[in-house]
Amino acid sequence: MRKPLPEIKYFGGDPFEFRKFIRQFRSKILANSDIADENMNYLEQFTCGEANKFVKGFGYLDAEVGYVAAMKELEERYGNEHTVVNAFGQRALDWPMIKADNPKGLTTFPSS
C-alpha cells in the first residue's frame, strides 16, 4: 500500500495557519532535503501574499543564511504567542453581534 502524495497548503500570513504550515513543511520538505538552496526554493514556492514578500526578501542572501533568517522571521511574525492572541482577539471583535431578540443568533454564530 502506498502513502498518499504529500500536500502542502500555501501559507499567506494567517497566524492560525502557521503551525499547520510549518508541520507540513518540516515533514514533507525538510525531512527529505538537507540542501539549503532547495529548502529556500521550497519556502518561496509554498508561501504567498505577505509571507512570500518576507521570504523573497531573504532570497538575495546565500541560502545557508537566507533560509535560516527567513524561517526565523516567519516564526517571529506568525508563530509568536502575542500575534496569535491578537489574531484571536481580532476574530472575536469581528464576530457579528448577537441580540437578545434573535433566538437564532447563537445557531449562526461563527465556529472558527
Q: 84-97: b or e for each residue (b if 16 or more CB lie within 10 Å)?
A: eeeeeeeeeeeeee
Nine cell digits for residue 56:
523573497
What residues does each domain of the chain span?
15-108
Nearest alpha carbon to residue 42 among 34, 2, 72, 76: 34
Nearest to 9 by CA among 51, 38, 58, 40: 51
Q: What pLDDT is stored for residue 65 in this prediction?
A: 95
Q: What is the pLDDT of residues 42-64, one digit of tens each?
A: 999 999 999 999 999 999 999 99
Average pLDDT over residues 81-107: 66
Mean pLDDT of the chain, nearest integer? 83
CB 27 within 8 A of CB 7: no
Report the predicted TM-score, pTM, of the whole model to 2 decimal places.
0.72
